[in-house]
Amino acid sequence: MTKTSLQCRECKKEYESTFKYICDECFGPLDVKYEFPPITKNTFTNREHTYWRYFELLPIQNKSNIISINAGMTPLVKAEKLGEKLGLNNLYIKNDSVNPTFSFKDRPAGIAVSKAKEFGLSAVGCASTGNLASATAAHAAKGGFPCYVFAPSDIEHAKIAQALAYGSKFIAVDGTYDDANRIAAQIGDSKGIGIVNINLRSYYVEGSKTLAYEVAEQLDWQVPDHLVVPVGSGAMLNAICKGFEELQNVSLLGDVSKMHMIAAQPHGCAPIVDAFKLGSSDVIPVENPDTIAKSLAIGDPGDGRYVLKRLKQYNGFAEESNNREILDAILLLARTEGIFTEPAGGVSVAVLKKMIDDGKIDKNDTTICYVTGNGLKATEALMEVLPKPEVMQADVAKISAVVK
């Protein structure tokens, strides 16, 4: 069993690993700290094809508390055709859109709901821009927990349907994600509900670091040169950095300090990109996000400051893409690699393209583009730009005339 504790990201004070997420001394966020057992590459061979293969590096103490819907170990696709179009020889898509609930959120949600079981909590929930809703709801269903979702009322239809189908109580808040988040925080604390991305956040973020572990293992334990990550709250980008650092600490990877982290945000909600471009270490919140990338519409990103630090630490960049560029990128990815992503993935691909055009990525660099959500969850914006198929009479002669 791996020994864990909680440590304040700011003042470094340590705490026992309990249901706690903020430092008593300085109100900084708490991170899980580990004393890892000896680990080798062979530790993970012949293990299950889910992120639970990295059990020793995760914060669950007892395997009986694992609530798994078999997420993770998603394909790392060598994107030959997209690479050719963009001018890269070593481009990889981490296709996390094929997780069980069709986004990367199955990773953090699975760890947090398992931890809720380990803590003996009786209900779970989340504040969501859409994808976390179904990821939390599905894990709650599997674990037998009631689940409360707090989300803006204007998120995509499919995401609401999906979360409801798993049996969650869906609270559609007439407001922004930040409004939903504030309400979830207050209700979670007053009613003792484990809100996966708020009062269980220290554990939740640990799930997303498996996006680093898998990429490293799939690259046969090589360190990539560039990583393009879509950013909302910033939790995932921060967790990916932590994941690579931990692999270096247990000697599974060489020097990770040469990696370049690239934060991708949508125009209309790009507070981290704005701060990066101003050279500021603080993020000014966007009050009313306006973008088709609704899953990234977090105006006041909880980990914004830490993303800016990570970009400095990892020779990084931050860039935005507008709605038109996002839609073009969705189609480019679909039509080259056969991968259909939602706007968040379009943001990654569009920003990747800008980085290449700006000469920030060399054609032989190993580049990972994280595609984190599935296109079927967000067809609304795309349907507005795609031609509607004309309904035709079921007549071979007439139809064969239009098949060239």
Ligand X SMILES: Cc1ncc(COP(=O)(O)O)c(C=O)c1O
Residues contributing to the site for ligand X (CB under 6 A): 103, 105, 129, 131-132, 230-236, 295-296, 344, 372-373
Cα–Cα distance measured from residue 199 to residue 21, given in angstroms and rounded to the nearest whole number: 6
In the complex, least distance from residue 11 CB atom to Zn ion, rounded to whole angstroms: 3
11 near Zn ion (CB under 5 A): yes
User: Closest by alpha carbon to 199, among 215, 187, 214, 212?
Assistant: 187
Q: Residue 39 or residue 297: which is nearer to ligand X going by CB? A: 297
Residue nearest to ligand X (CB): 373
Q: Residue 17 or residue 176: which is nearer to Zn ion going by CB? A: 17
Contacts of 54 (CB under 8 A, 6+ apart): 44, 210, 213
196: its two tokens: 């996966």
In the complex, least distance from residue 222 CB atom to ligand X, rounded to whole angstroms: 24
Cα–Cα distance measured from residue 207 to residue 379, given in angstroms and rounded to the nearest whole number: 27
8 near Zn ion (CB under 5 A): yes
Q: Residue 239 or residue 355: which is nearer to ligand X going by CB? A: 239
In the complex, least distance from residue 105 CB atom to ligand X, rounded to whole angstroms: 6
Which of ligand X, Zn ion, none has residue 372 at its interface (CB below 5 to 8 Å by kind)?
Answer: ligand X
In the complex, least distance from residue 178 CB atom to Zn ion, rounded to whole angstroms: 24
DSSP string, 362-387: -TTS-EEEEE-BBGGG--HHHHTTSP
Task: Give the number of residues written for the chain.
Answer: 404
341 has which bridge partners?
A: 374
In the complex, least distance from residue 149 CB atom to ligand X, rounded to whole angstroms: 13
Question: Hey, how many other C-beta atoms are within 10 angstroms of the C-beta on 288?
Answer: 11
Which residues in 17-76 contact Zn ion (CB under 5 A)? 23, 25-26, 28
Q: Residue 115 or residue 252: which is nearer to ligand X going by CB? A: 115
**Cβ-contact 111, 385 below 8 angstroms:** no
In the complex, least distance from residue 118 CB atom to ligand X, rounded to whole angstroms: 22
Cα–Cα distance measured from residue 315 to residue 338, given in angstroms and rounded to the nearest whole number: 31
Which of Zn ion, ligand X, none has residue 230 at its interface (CB below 5 to 8 Å by kind)?
Answer: ligand X
Which of ligand X, Zn ion, none has residue 48 at its interface (CB below 5 to 8 Å by kind)?
Answer: none
326: its two tokens: 């996002």
Which of Zn ion, ligand X, none has residue 103 at its interface (CB below 5 to 8 Å by kind)?
Answer: ligand X
Q: Which amino acid is at 48?
A: E
215: its two tokens: 């990429």
Question: Hey, how many other C-beta atoms are within 10 angstroms of the C-beta on 145?
Answer: 24
Q: Residue 55 or residue 306: which is nearer to Zn ion going by CB? A: 306
Q: Residue 68 or residue 131: which is nearer to ligand X going by CB? A: 131
Which of ligand X, Zn ion, none has residue 93 at its interface (CB below 5 to 8 Å by kind)?
Answer: none
Contacts of 98 (CB under 8 A, 6+ apart): 74, 75, 374
In the complex, least distance from residue 121 CB atom to ligand X, rounded to whole angstroms: 22
Name the site residues for Zn ion (rule: CB under 5 A): 8, 10-11, 13, 23, 25-26, 28
